[in-house]
Amino acid sequence: MFRFRRTVYCDNNATTQVSKKAQKAVAGLLGRCYANPSSPYRMAHEAAGILADARACLAKAVNAPPESIIFTSCATESNNSLRAIAPLLPPDKRAIIHSPLEHPAMLETLFHLERQGFSLIALKPDRQGRIGPEELERAWREDVGLAVCMAANNESGTLYDVKAMTAIAHARGALFFSDMVQALGKIPVDLLDSGVDYASFSAHKIHGPKGVGALYVREGAPFAPFMLGGHQEEGRRAGTEGLHNIAGFAAAAEDVPLLLAGAGDLCRRRDALIAALRKLAPDCVVNSPPAPECQPGTLSVTFPGKANAVLMGQLDYYGISVAAGSACNTGEDTPSHVLTAMGLSPEEARSTLRISLAHDFSDKDLRYVIAIFSDVLSGAGDTVTAVQPSRLTPEMLFAPDVFIIDLRRSLKTDYALKPLPNSRSFPFFSIGKHLDEIPRDKHILVTCEVGYDAPIIAYYLRRKGYRRLSFLTWGLLGWKLVRPELYARFAGGDGHAQGDG
Ligand code: PLP
């Protein structure tokens, strides 16, 4: 099979391509206006004016008064603001009710608050990640002072009725914080109408630059700054504003109406992809709810029995970038907390892909993605061999024509581990710099910790022209389970010297 390879980026919930307009705004400012907007002299007035215009521009995109917008370094920081806000809650209102499907930027903040003495109450989502206002009412407790729910989920695309939820919280004297990172540019965001007290945004999810976010604080809502220092942002967020990034954010926010206008087309292409996948793999399970309960471009889909890391590697080989619904890029064997909270088993979560499309995804891209999925799901795309852990024998380890790549990230820090015999250790993210150290005349076997990294690198090497490639499924920890004695002897854990050389 031969196909002309295209590059199709389908991971827009991770980040988006920076628009030409945002690029121009960033570059223009970097070269022109470098004065500190807080300085008193004339040169700084231009900077202060640009900052005010940018604030007004973002405020317009989310229908909020400009004074209620605080620029931050990213949405993670905006969510972390809760660490300074929560201590302002009255002593008898120190419970926080929240969606368990929040992004780690929010969830870890909540867990931190729990360690500080706040109690957490997790809401219950359904199988497609829905949490209705009635669930908030059901789980409510007298001591709740703050409710937290995102407006759109980054993994499933599920949307939440934050306006109704805010009304419930307010009726009970509590505050409401919504992470709206995945909502802006995908569905209309109207902060004044929603009534929320706090909301977070990120520029790089709407075709703006990375490294800039925003926090909305409703006029009159309790607030204390999280970042302490200077008096920037009216004393609400210390640190010199990154004016070039803020201008890029504003330029991207200006185009929010254009993104919203394209939502119908995006939805049609997403639905066409779902229909095609269901034909190709009748047992696949779509985890995202249908429109209008889902963001237009997001699709979470489980392919039972197929490891998402392998699918990712295969699709990547053909130029298609998608995400696995799990922490695969951390090298940890942790299935996605979002998918498991929705009721998927860890195995199902490890067989799940997230495909997130943007407005530049064309019908041609759609046809290409469907054609590649057809090959990959039918096995016609298999150009790399998967080695089951039970088949990794000493013979294979010591075969003279086998070159083993050991990708374990903990190899450097965990001294109980030892490199596999006949192997070389390479860094996952920069293996491309070491291709001249990987022989082309040998059979390459790629191994890693838990099975996520190896297929991705194996397919990467395939793209780089390597012919004889295999990867170890389920990683060396899978090998440890089925062949503990071999693992202890050759991969580590028991402190014995490496044998059978
Ligand atoms: N919240 C959600 C829902 C997200 O999807 C993300 C990014 O993936 C963040 C917060 C963090 O955004 P940032 O990268 O600006 O810190």
Residue 481 is predicted with a pLDDT of 92
Whether 448 sits among the annotated catalytic residues: the reply is no
| Spacing, Cα 27 to ligand 1 middle (Å) | 24
**Residue 184 pLDDT greater than 50, yes or no:** yes
Query: Residue 393's closest CA among 442, 445, 449?
Result: 445
Closest residue CA from atom 12 of ligand 1: 75
Q: Which of 77, 159, 182 to mutate to test the pocket of ligand 1 (most atoms within 8 A of CB)?
A: 182
Residue 493 is predicted with a pLDDT of 67
Query: Residue 193's closest CA among 178, 174, 204?
Result: 178
Query: Residue 354's closest CA among 418, 292, 301?
Result: 301
Q: Which of 177, 201, 205 to mutate to test the pocket of ligand 1 (most atoms within 8 A of CB)?
A: 205
**In Å, how far from its chain's centre is CA 427?**
22
**Residue 371 pLDDT greater than 70, yes or no:** yes
| Spacing, Cα 372 to ligand 1 middle (Å) | 29
Q: Which of 9-18, 145-154, 486-495 has the lowest mean pLDDT?
A: 486-495
Residue 310 is predicted with a pLDDT of 87
Average pLDDT in the 449-460 region? Answer: 90
Q: Please give all residues whose beta carbon lies within 6 A of any atom in ligand 1, as ranges.
A: 74-76, 103, 105, 150, 154, 179, 181-182, 202, 213
Residue tagged active-site, from 149, 284, 328, 448: 328
| Spacing, Cα 258 to ligand 1 middle (Å) | 22
Pairing of strands 213-217, 69-72: antiparallel
Closest residue CA from atom 5 of ligand 1: 154
Q: 88-119: buried (b, 16+ CB within 10 Å) or exposed (e) per residue?
A: ebeeebbbbbbbbbbbebbbebbeebeeeebe
Q: Which of 58, 162, 181, 336 to mutate to test the pocket of ligand 1 (most atoms within 8 A of CB)?
A: 181
Q: Which of 18, 103, 160, 246 to mutate to test the pocket of ligand 1 (most atoms within 8 A of CB)?
A: 103
Q: Which has more confidence, 108 or 429? A: 108
Residue 10 is predicted with a pLDDT of 98
Point out the ligand 1 atom lying closest to the alpha carbon of residue 79: 10
| Spacing, Cα 154 to ligand 1 middle (Å) | 8
pLDDT range class, residue 161, cuts 50, 70, 90: very high
| Spacing, Cα 39 to ligand 1 middle (Å) | 31
| Spacing, Cα 103 to ligand 1 middle (Å) | 7
- Rounded-to-integer distance, Cα 200 and Cα 76, Å: 8
| Spacing, Cα 424 to ligand 1 middle (Å) | 35
Q: Which of 149-153, 162-166, 188-192, 436-440 has the lowest mean pLDDT?
A: 436-440
List pLDDT tens digits, range 127-136: 999 999 999 9
List pLDDT tens digits, range 235-260: 999 999 999 999 999 999 999 999 99
CA angle 436, 440, 443 (to 5 degrees): 130
Rounded mean pLDDT of the chain?
A: 93
Point out the ligand 1 atom lying closest to the alpha carbon of residue 15: 8
Q: Which of 335-339, 491-495, 497-501 has the lowest mean pLDDT?
A: 497-501
Point out the ligand 1 atom lying closest to the alpha carbon of residue 204: 15
Q: Which of 46-50, 322-326, 470-474 has the lowest mean pLDDT?
A: 322-326
β-sheet with 385-387: strand ranges across? 385-387, 469-472, 443-447, 402-406, 423-425
CA angle 284, 288, 290 (to 5 degrees): 105
Segments in 306-362 forming alpha helices (H) = 308-317, 337-341, 346-349
List pLDDT tens digits, range 263-288: 999 999 999 999 999 999 999 999 99
Q: Which has more confidence, 386 or 248? A: 248
Residue 19 is predicted with a pLDDT of 98
**Residue 474 pLDDT greater than 90, yes or no:** no
List pLDDT tens digits, range 390-411: 989 998 999 888 999 999 988 8
Residue 484 is predicted with a pLDDT of 93
